[in-house]
């Protein structure tokens, strides 16, 4: 647990000045190749690792992007992060990753932590942060929001065209012959409102407004379970359920399974996200795909543009697709 070597040590060992050592390690063409090699060798031998704090402080930039992921438990976010990380690596940027864990107030705290790091930019993935708060952050540091549309000159957004996604889902069910369709929504979750409105307007488009039910949920399996419970308690039971996301859909399947209602013979279920779980043939959930990694990588590109100086808002809408599996079928006759 000895003191870590500093640039000073490297410089001494290589017989050069600190400044030259610094340049040498960055492969600056300003320093002779031979010297460069000597410096690098000295650094390796000492096990030198630059002190980020010192680097950041002196250079006024961190080369780091802050990423706030809503929830580590939802595989969807892991996939979005894959896209983010890949893009960041491509651009030789570092990142610091945070999650809010549970509560809402934690989101601001997590963001403050990123700000304290003096990150060069921030990616907010599906946070519930109030629009005003997000705009405030964006005024301090370039910010892009994933999964939610925010009208603000300062905040860029990258999200799936949920209106289209919901239309896809509804059209599919209607084509199969369904009319009474229930939506279990994402409650206070980020983007939940958009998806709920998408569902309602899609049902209107096909002239089935009065047959639509919406029950309040959350983006979790538990919410899906409880939502299904409520949906199938009434007397005018729907023949299909459109869940706010795959997790919710799993909860619905769970409830239906334990109640002895067969899917898709008696009830059709459709999810949103096309996560790994939905792909399992034992689950085989019909779902709306949002190409999650693309969401992430696009967010990074948009952010870099903003860091590069663009000042107008950029709102990137990605088109979803329907992935038809085996939880949807014609309703019972």
Partner DNA sequence: CTGAAAGCGCTAACAG
Partner DNA sequence: CTGTTAGCGCTTTCAG
Per CB under 7 A, which region of 4-12, 198-206, 299-307, 313-321 contacts DNA? 4-12
- Give the number of other CB atoms < 10 A from CB of residue 34: 8
Per CB under 7 A, which region of 59-67, 164-172, 197-205, 325-333 contacts DNA? 59-67
Nearer to a second copy, 25 or 214 (CB): 25
Which does residue 23 bind out of DNA, a second copy, none, counting CB within 5 to 8 angstroms by kind?
DNA
Contact 114, 66 (CB under 8 A): yes
Residue choice 41, 58, 175, 276 for contact with DNA (CB under 7 A): 58
Residue 183: strand pairing partners: 214, 242
At which residue do the structure tokens 């892009």 appear?
144
* Shortest separation between residue 141's beta carbon and DNA, angstroms: 14
Residue 326: strand pairing partners: none
DSSP alpha helices (H): ranges in the chain?
7-14, 18-25, 33-46, 52-59, 75-90, 105-116, 131-140, 162-176, 192-205, 221-231, 246-259, 276-279, 292-307
Residue choice 19, 41, 132, 175 for contact with DNA (CB under 7 A): 19
Nearer to a second copy, 94 or 204 (CB): 94
* Shortest separation between residue 146's beta carbon and a second copy, angstroms: 15
Which does residue 222 bind out of a second copy, DNA, none, counting CB within 5 to 8 angstroms by kind?
none
* Shortest separation between residue 310's beta carbon and DNA, angstroms: 23
29 to 48, contacts with DNA by CB under 7 A?
Answer: 29-32, 35, 48
Q: Is 330 exposed, middle or buried (0-12, 13-18, 19+ CB in 10 A)?
A: middle
Nearer to a second copy, 89 or 175 (CB): 89
Nearer to a second copy, 118 or 197 (CB): 118
Contact 108, 133 (CB under 8 A): yes
Before 76, cis peptide (omega within 30)? Answer: no
The DSSP letter of residue 149 is: -
Contact 149, 86 (CB under 8 A): no
Residue choice 7, 122, 283, 300 for contact with DNA (CB under 7 A): 7
Residue 50 contacts DNA per CB under 7 A? yes
* Shortest separation between residue 54's beta carbon and DNA, angstroms: 3
60 to 89, contacts with DNA by CB under 7 A?
Answer: 60-61
Nearer to DNA, 21 or 166 (CB): 21
Which does residue 22 bind out of a second copy, DNA, none, counting CB within 5 to 8 angstroms by kind?
DNA
At which residue do the structure tokens 């907010």 appear?
124
Residue ranges binding a second copy (CB under 8 A): 1, 4, 47, 49-54, 56-57, 62, 72-73, 75, 77-79, 81-82, 85, 94, 96-99, 101, 112-113, 115-118, 139-142, 221, 250, 253-254, 257-258, 276-277, 280-283
* Shortest separation between residue 78's beta carbon and a second copy, angstroms: 4
Nearer to DNA, 63 or 177 (CB): 63
Residue 282 contacts DNA per CB under 7 A? no
Q: Is 320 exposed, middle or buried (0-12, 13-18, 19+ CB in 10 A)?
A: buried
Cβ-Cβ contacts under 8 Å for 192 (sequence gap 6 or more) = 185, 186, 219, 244
Task: DSSP for 67-111, please give it.
Answer: EEES-SSSHHHHHHHHHHHHHHHHTT-EEEEEE--S-SHHHHHHH
Interacting residues with DNA (CB under 7 A): 3, 6-8, 15-20, 22-23, 25-26, 29-32, 35, 48, 50-51, 54-55, 57-61
């Amino acid at each position: 647990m000895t003191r870590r070597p500093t640039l000073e040590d490297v410089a001494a060992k290589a017989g050069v000045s600190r400044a030259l050592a610094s340049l040498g390690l960055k492969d600056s063409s300003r320093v002779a190749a031979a010297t460069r090699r000597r410096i690098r060798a000295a650094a390796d031998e000492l096990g030198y690792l630059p002190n980020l704090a010192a680097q950041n402080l002196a250079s006024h930039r961190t080369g780091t992007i802050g990423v706030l992921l809503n929830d580590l438990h939802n595989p969807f976010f892991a996939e979005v992060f894959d896209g983010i990380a890949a893009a960041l690596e491509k651009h030789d940027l570092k990142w610091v990753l945070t999650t809010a864990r549970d509560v809402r107030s934690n989101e601001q705290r997590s963001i403050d932590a990123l700000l304290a790091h003096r990150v060069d930019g921030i990616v907010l993935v599906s946070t519930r942060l109030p629009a005003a708060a997000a705009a405030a952050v964006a005024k301090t540091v370039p910010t892009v929001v994933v999964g939610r549309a925010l009208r603000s000159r300062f905040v860029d957004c990258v999200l799936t065209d949920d209106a289209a996604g919901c239309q896809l889902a509804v059209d599919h069910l209607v084509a199969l012959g369904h009319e009474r369709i229930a939506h279990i929504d994402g409650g206070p979750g980020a983007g939940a409102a958009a998806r709920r409105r998408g569902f309602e307007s899609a049902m209107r488009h096909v002239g089935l407004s009065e047959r639509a039910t919406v029950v309040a949920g959350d983006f979790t399996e538990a919410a899906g379970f409880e939502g299904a419970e409520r949906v199938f308690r009434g007397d005018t039971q729907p023949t299909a359920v459109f869940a706010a996301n795959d997790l919710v859909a799993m909860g619905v399947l769970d409830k239906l399974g334990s109640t002895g209602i067969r899917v898709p013979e008696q009830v059709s279920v459709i999810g949103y996200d096309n996560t790994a779980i939905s792909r399992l043939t034992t689950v085989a959930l019909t779902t709306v795909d949002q190409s999650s990694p693309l969401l992430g990588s696009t967010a990074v590109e948009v952010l870099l543009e903003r860091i590069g100086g663009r000042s107008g808002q950029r709102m990137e809408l990605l088109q979803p697709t329907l992935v038809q599996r085996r939880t949807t079928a014609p309703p019972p006759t």
